[in-house]
């Protein structure tokens, strides 16, 4: 393999998927909901316990398609289309953040190129918001709340 070749794209999202219900609940509790024409999405910082010391936490992605969007074959098609669009652009995911997508029914009928463009737009917006959040947290160091006797109170 020569040094000028591009790194191979991942074959699946298996390594970056949210799997546990508790992880989804935590992302919903710590994140903010955003809307687009084709889906809503949540961006939440990962908790310090999720990361290995001195290494930035790998980004994680979740996808929920509820029964309100149609029968099983329609929901599965929505998920397949979303996973493929995300797989192609997994490198745009912001490190240290969880991102959850809630697609709407129109994802089923829209052109794949449009869906892919929308996913890229959302990923770029999420990356910008994650960078902005990292700048804000670095600029305001955490100061512990002190008890009347001078002991720090855990938050």
SS3 assignment for the chain: CCCCCCCCCCCCCHHHECCCHHHHHHHHHHCEEEECCCEEEEEEECCHHHCCCCCCCCCEEEECCCHHHCCHHHHHHHHHHHHHHHHHCHHHCCCCEEEEEEECHHHCCCCHHHHHHHHHHHHHHHHHHHHHHHHHHHHCCCCCEECCCCCEECC
Q: What is the pLDDT of residue 35?
A: 93
Per-residue pLDDT of the chain (155 residues; tens, 9 = 90+): 454 545 555 567 788 889 999 999 999 999 999 999 899 999 999 876 655 555 567 889 999 999 999 999 999 999 999 999 999 999 899 888 999 999 999 999 999 999 999 999 999 999 999 888 766 555 555 545 455 555 554 44
Domain boundaries, the chain: 16-47+55-127
For the domain made up of 16-47+55-127, the CATH class stated in words is alpha beta
């Amino acid at each position: 393999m020569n040094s000028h070749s591009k790194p191979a794209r991942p074959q699946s999202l298996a390594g970056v998927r949210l799997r546990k219900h508790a992880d989804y609940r935590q992302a919903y509790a710590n994140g903010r909901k955003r809307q687009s024409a084709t889906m809503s999405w949540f961006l939440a910082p990962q908790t310090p316990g999720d990361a290995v010391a001195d290494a930035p936490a790998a980004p994680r992605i979740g996808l929920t398609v509820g029964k309100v969007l149609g029968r099983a074959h329609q929901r599965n098609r929505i998920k397949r289309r979303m996973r493929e669009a995300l797989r192609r652009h997994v490198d745009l995911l912001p490190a240290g953040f969880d991102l959850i997508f809630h697609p709407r029914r129109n994802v089923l009928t829209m052109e794949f190129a449009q869906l892919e463009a929308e996913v890229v737009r959302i990923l770029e917006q999420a990356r910008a918001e994650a960078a902005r959040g990292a700048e804000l947290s670095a600029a305001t160091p955490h100061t512990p709340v002190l008890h009347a006797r001078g002991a720090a109170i855990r938050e």
